[in-house]
Amino acid sequence: ARANPRAADPQACGILAVVNSKLSPDALRLQTLTLQRLVRHRGPDGSGIHVVKTPDGARCSSVAHERLAIVDPLSGNQPLFSHDMKRSLAVNGEIYNHVELRKQLKDTTPFRTGSDCEVIVHAFDEFGVDTASKLDGDFAFVILNDETGEVYAARDPIGINSLYMSTGL
């Protein structure tokens, strides 16, 4: 059996999300930054974090990213955002059909970056929970909906990019 060449390569993006925390936004940002340090080795090209209160204001959620730039190294920093800034995306992966998928989208709002991954957040606006089935590539991602507090997480169907979930933080 041939080994996956990427499996031995620690150079890949790192993503994480904390959902429905009772911490304040500032305290959650600090907690997320602490957790983010655990995946910092995964992406040497940049890092980002987004923290939002749930609609009722009682809880907060965060999404964070450590970046390994493959496509658009100058402007593809994450988290990426929907055109209305109401959904944030952290993704590890590469979307092979991003050019074709951009052409299929009904919304013609210009993309902010040349990143292959930005298509995910725009596709989510159109396809919702069916978005992952439209993607050809190796990926794991988390989308945080700032309006509803909902979180959507998915990975490629083969599992090239792992996605781990835990509770109790």
Model confidence at 70, pLDDT cuts 50, 70, 90, reads low
Mean pLDDT to the nearest integer, 145-162:
89
Catalytic residues: 13
pTM, entire model: 0.83
* In contact, 135 and 89? CB cutoff 8 Å: no
**Residue 35 domain-assigned?**
yes
Strand partners, 16: 64
**Residue 168 domain-assigned?**
no
DSSP the chain: -PPPTTTT---S-EEEEEEEESS-HHHHHHHHHHHHGGGGGG-TT-EEEEEEE-TTSS-EEEEEEE---SS-TTT--SSEE-TTS-EEEEEEEEETTHHHHHHH-S--PPPSS--TTHHHHHHHHHHGGGHHHH--EEEEEEEEETTT--EEEEE-TT-SS--------
User: What is the predicted pLDDT for the residue at 51?
Assistant: 94
**Residue 164 domain-assigned?**
no
**Residue 8 domain-assigned?**
no
Residue-wise pLDDT for 83-136, tens only, equals 899 999 999 889 999 999 999 999 888 898 888 999 999 999 999 999 999 999
Q: Does residue 29 surpass a pLDDT of 90?
A: yes
Model confidence at 74, pLDDT cuts 50, 70, 90, reads low
**Residue 165 domain-assigned?**
no
Give the domain range for residue 107: 14-155
**Residue 24 domain-assigned?**
yes
| Beta strands 47-53 and 14-21, pairing class | unpaired
Model confidence at 162, pLDDT cuts 50, 70, 90, reads confident
Distance from C-alpha of 119 to C-alpha of 111, rounded to nearest angstrom: 8
Distance from C-alpha of 20 to C-alpha of 150, rounded to nearest angstrom: 9
Please give the mean pLDDT across all residues of the chain.
84
User: What is the predicted pLDDT for the residue at 148?
Assistant: 87
**Residue 42 domain-assigned?**
yes
CATH code of the domain containing 118: 3.60.20.10
Distance from C-alpha of 149 to C-alpha of 147, rounded to nearest angstrom: 6
Considering its fold, how many domains does the chain have in total? Answer: 1
Q: Does residue 31 surpass a pLDDT of 50?
A: yes
Q: Does residue 76 surpass a pLDDT of 70?
A: no
| Type of residue at 141 | F
Model confidence at 169, pLDDT cuts 50, 70, 90, reads low
Two structure tokens written together for 120: 């995910």
**Residue 167 domain-assigned?**
no
